[in-house]
A and B are shown apart, each in its own frame.
Chain A
Amino acid sequence: MAQFLEQIINGLVLGGIYALIAVGYTMVYGIIQLINFAHGEIFMFGAYIALMLVTVFGIPFWVALPLSMVLCGMLGMLMDLVAYRPLRNAPRLSALITAIGMSLALQNLARMIWSARPRQFPAEVLPTIFLSQNAISLPGGASLPYRDVFIILLALILMVALNRLIYLTKIGKAMRACAQNPVAANLMGIKTNRVIAITFIIGSALGAVAGVMVGLREVVTPTMGYYKGVAAFAAAVLGGIGNITGAMLGGIIIGLAEVFGAGYISSGYRLAIAYIIMIAVIVIRPSGLFGRSTGHRA
């Protein structure tokens, strides 16, 4: 029982992280039909930027986290401006290949700046609540570190906030309009390029949070964006790419599937099991859980 409970927690933490990344893939796809393969690298930069802020510049963690979100948002916007905006009216394949190129370029840039050595957040710069010995004891000898509670709660809060932003604010309305029909939205006076830039900023900022979370639990490396990025992409597809609620739920499903697959079926096929679930869903519902099979993306 304790084992089951712990696996649920492991899955939820992983799923929360995947959900935060998956939202970035799905938002961009919803608006410009681009699978932004470099999103995993934004996630990685988020972790490195926060790490540099706390270790090199000595900024407290609680300031470094939002600052890393802001800087990554800027990086996402810059990426759109430099790499994708010039290709807005080019064939989709050109933008897709550019995205793969951006991913490789950013990954190697990180390797040049920070070397391939894995890095960790040193315990002395973190708030004491994040130290792994500070944990809630669960029945049956399981324990739940406050850090993991924080990750789950933060993911939840950000998801709700994003949902409210999309459905209750003016910019959210503009984003939904662009997703439905960019030309019509433009004719109605919506500045599409600005809306797209804001989409990139929000997606990248959420990716940065996920990067910092992974940095806290695991380790920071230039290739960290690959594994988590691929899993999060699978989550976005599972939920129905372009659909934000779907991405959130997809993240949780992939996270739980990965953990339960590894814990109860076979650890050698950890991610493969998660992918099999994704494929099974796609076979039954080709547009994913929440995707619409006809009409427009939202």
Chain B
Amino acid sequence: MRNWLVGLLIVGLVSFLGCQAQDRSTGQTQRAPRELKVAVAAPFTGNAAAFGEMIRRGAELRAKEINDAGGINGMKFTLVFEDDAGKDAEASLVAERIANNLQILAVVGHFNSSCSLAGKPIYQRAGIVELSPGSTNVTVCEGSDWTFRNLYRDDFQGKFIAQYIDKILTDLQSVAVFFDNDDYGRGLRNAFVEEAEKIGLDLVASEAYDRDNTDFKAQLTSIKAKNPDAVFISGLYTEAGLIAKQAREAGITSQFFGADGVDSPDFLTIAGEAAEGTYLTTPFTFGAAGEDALQMAANFENLHGVAPDTWAALTYDAVGMIADALEKTYNSEAAVADNRKAIRDHLASLDTPEEGYKGVTGLTYFDINGDTVNKPAYVKIVKAGQFVAADQQLLELN
């Protein structure tokens, strides 16, 4: 009985591998697939899981709309969700799995900069597009023709925050930076510090934290001793929420400033009252968006029962861009590698405002690296337990 089972398993495995091998050797798919698969790689568990949830929902909404409208050239558009838990080691495994799955044509993801960086060489080697709706570290798209993103970089964001504090929040003279010791947190801190020094903001402290820890009292006590007017938290919402809370407990009365990593409703629930008055930057806000974004928000609420956030909107656009590329380039006769490459070539061809993709988060087009450099940053503030657009926006940087 057991031998019989093992035999069956081997036969099954061999025939499966055989088909795969044939796929590769002839470079031809056996028959036209009935569905087109795209992976969405994001942190569905772990410290950034709230982002992952919104990313999943945004992607699901776009896929549903595409399929309700008849799919892509008559073929069903299917998403494959892969969880990287927000950790670079996990992201490498996920990237390998995706790259080796010859049914998957492109990747929307990853979210965390560390994860996008970990996946980059693997996607490049395999020749599959990585389109991130959330990674802002400066180096994410560098050195690979296959990595793109549809939002700004941290050198812009860090500079923006420093200038916003300098020009608009003029009461704030001294700033302490408290940063997550990973690619995102460090990169953003460096950009901020560089600009702050240039424009003469008084930097009184720069402390790091480790994302696995949830006790920040030691560093906060040091920051408190420097008595800064503002504390810039360069990290993600879970830790930022706890930092805000523990800082108020420790008697720090400074103004908090965060970046897009803090832009999640979960920041409000974790920090509670301590969130009040916190400023943060974001690549997109529904408050300053057009007609189609509001329509998307309404559809999102119909489908999921909650309001979308920034990341849902950026993912919605990223999935839309990939679907658009598939519609224009997919050839069911061609090999997987060629179809994957056609998507890349299409994205790379979107290099001027005229060619750009018009999505709910605005116009997206890429520079030579695959970065989006035209999108502005918005400033939000927490008022009465809600994110609202700040009264004064900074439209141009020096």
A residues with a Cβ closer than 8 A to B are 2-3, 6-7, 10-11, 13-14, 111, 115-118, 120, 123, 132, 141-143, 145, 214, 217-219, 221, 223-224, 226-227, 258-260, 262-264, 266-268, 270-271
- List, in ascending order, chain A residues with CB within 8 A of B209's CB: 267, 270
Name which of A111, A224, A270 has the most chain B CB atoms within 10 A of its CB. A270
Closest A-chain residue to B248, C-beta based?
A132
Residues of chain A within 8 A of B219, CB atoms compared:
262-263, 267, 270
Question: What are 13 A-B interface contacts by the 8 Å CB criterion?
Answer: A117-B50, A117-B266, A118-B47, A118-B270, A141-B251, A142-B251, A218-B242, A223-B46, A259-B217, A266-B208, A270-B209, A270-B213, A271-B210
Query: B212, B215, B272: which contacts A226 (Cβ < 8 A)?
Result: B212
With beta carbons under 8 angstroms apart, the residue of B46, B47, B218 that contacts A259 is B218
**Considering residues A214, A223, A266, which has the most beta carbons from chain B within 10 angstroms of its beta carbon?**
A223
Count class of interface residues, chain B: 20 to 34
**Bound complex: CA of A116 vs CA of B42, how far in Å?**
14
Per-position binary interface string of chain B over residues 45-74, scored 1 when its CB falls under 8 Å from any chain A CB and 0 otherwise: 111011000000000000000000000000
Interface check B250, CB cutoff 8 A? yes
In this complex, which of B47, B209, B215, B219 has the most chain A Cβ atoms within 10 angstroms of its Cβ? Answer: B215
Pick from B46, B210, B212, B249: contact of A116, CB below 8 A: B46
B210 contact from A13, A259, A264, A270, Cβ within 8 A = A270
Determine the chain B residues whose CB is within 8 A of the CB of A219 once the complex forms. Answer: 214, 238, 242, 270
Interface stretch among B22-30, B220-228, B284-292, B344-352? Answer: B220-228
Bound CA span A64–B218, Å: 29
The closest CB in chain B to the CB of A260 belongs to B218
- Given the complex of chains A and B, what is the CA–CA distance between A270 and B221 in angstroms? 14
Please, how many angstroms separate the alpha-carbon atoms of A7 and B220 in the complex?
10
On chain B, the residues within 8 Å of A120 by CB distance are: 270
Decide: A3 and B222 in contact? CB cutoff 8 A: yes
A227 near B207 with CB under 8 A, answer: no
**A132 B249 Cβ-Cβ under 8 A:** yes
Told that A3-B224, A120-B270, A268-B210 touch, could you supply 7 new A-B pairs with CB distance under 8 A?
Answer: A10-B218, A115-B49, A218-B215, A219-B214, A219-B238, A262-B207, A264-B222
Knowing A263-B222, A267-B208, say if A224 contacts B49 (CB, 8 Å): no
Main secondary structure of the interface of A (DSSP, over half): helix
Interface residues of B (CB under 8 A from A): 45-47, 49-50, 181, 207-210, 212-215, 217-219, 221-222, 224-225, 238, 242, 246, 248-251, 266, 270, 272
In whole angstroms, how far apart are the Cα atoms of A271 and B209 in the complex? 10
* Alpha-carbon distance A115/B49, docked complex (angstroms): 9
User: A267-B208, A271-B210 are contacts. A3–B218 as well, Cβ < 8 Å?
Assistant: no
Given the known interface contacts A258-B218, A267-B218, A268-B208, the answer about A117 and B213 at a Cβ–Cβ threshold of 8 Å is no
| 10 closest cross-chain pairs (CB), A and B | A262-B218, A268-B208, A218-B214, A259-B218, A116-B45, A3-B225, A132-B249, A267-B207, A10-B217, A227-B212
Bound-complex Cα distance A111 to B45 (A): 9
On whether the beta carbons of B221 and A7 are closer than 8 Å, the reply is: yes
Specify which of A116, A141, A227, A268 is in contact with B49 (CB 8 Å cutoff): A116
Tell whether, in the assembled complex, residue B215 and residue A14 are in contact, meaning their CB atoms are under 8 Å apart: yes
- Smallest CB–CB gap between B278 and chain A, Å? 18
Report the bound CA distance from A145 to B270 in whole Å: 19
Q: Which residues on the A side are within 8 Å of B218 (C-beta)? A: 7, 10-11, 258-260, 262-263, 267, 270
CA distance A145 to B47 in the complex (A): 27
Residues in A neighbouring B251, C-beta threshold 8 A: 141-143
Contacts of A223 on B, CB cut-off 8 Å? Answer: 46, 212
Bound CA span A169–B12, Å: 64
Q: How far is the CB of B308 from chain A (nearest CB, A)?
A: 18
Chain A residues positioned under 8 Å from B225 (CB to CB): 2-3
Closest residue to A5 on the B side, CB-wise? B221
Q: Are A217 and B222 in contact (CB under 8 A)?
A: no
| Distance of A28 Cα from B181 Cα, bound (Å) | 35
A224 nearest in chain B by CB position = B214
Q: How far is the CA of A218 from the CA of B238 in the complex (A)?
A: 11
Q: Is the CB of B221 within 8 A of A267?
A: no
Residues of B within 8 A of A116 (CB): 45-46, 49
CA distance A264 to B221 in the complex (A): 10
Bound form: Cα–Cα A115–B215 in Å: 21
* Cβ 8 A contact of A117, one of B49, B210, B217, B246: B49
User: Which residue of B181, B207, B221 contacts A3 across the interface (Cβ within 8 Å)?
Assistant: B221
Q: From residue B213, how far is it (CB to closest CB) to chain A in Å?
A: 6
| Smallest CB gap from B251: residue in A | A143
Contacts of B221 in A (CB 8 A): 3, 6-7, 10, 263
Q: Which of B212, B222, B270 contacts A267 (CB 8 A)?
A: B222
Taking the closest CB of chain B, its distance from the CB of A11, in whole angstroms, is 8
Cβ of B211 to closest chain A Cβ, rounded Å: 10
Smallest CB gap from A223: residue in B: B212
**Chain A residues whose CB sits within 8 angstroms of the CB of B217 once the complex forms:** 10, 13-14, 259
Chain B residues with CB below 8 A from A132, complex form: 248-249
B208 near A217: Cβ-Cβ < 8 Å: no
Task: For B47, list chain A residues within 8 Å (CB).
Answer: 118, 221
How far apart are the CA atoms of A219 and B272 in the complex, in Å? 13
Chain B residue nearest to A123 in the complex (CB):
B272
Q: Which residues of A contact B242 (CB under 8 A)?
A: 218-219
CB distance from B210 to the nearest CB of A (A): 6
A222's nearest neighbour on chain B, judged by CB, is: B45
Measured CA separation A199–B213 after assembly (Å): 29
Contacts of B45 in A (CB 8 A): 111, 116
Give chain B nearest CB distance to A140 CB in angstroms. 10
Contacting pair A6 B250 (CB below 8 A):
yes
CB distance from B46 to the nearest CB of A (A): 6
Select B213's contact among A10, A145, A227, A266, beta carbons within 8 Å. A227
A14 to B219: give the CA distance in the assembly, Å.
14
Chain B residue numbers with a CB within 8 Å of A267 are: 207-209, 218-219, 222
- CA–CA, A6 to B250, complex, Å? 9
The CA-CA distance from A264 to B219 in the complex, in Å, is 9
In the complex, A24→B225 CA distance in Å?
A: 36
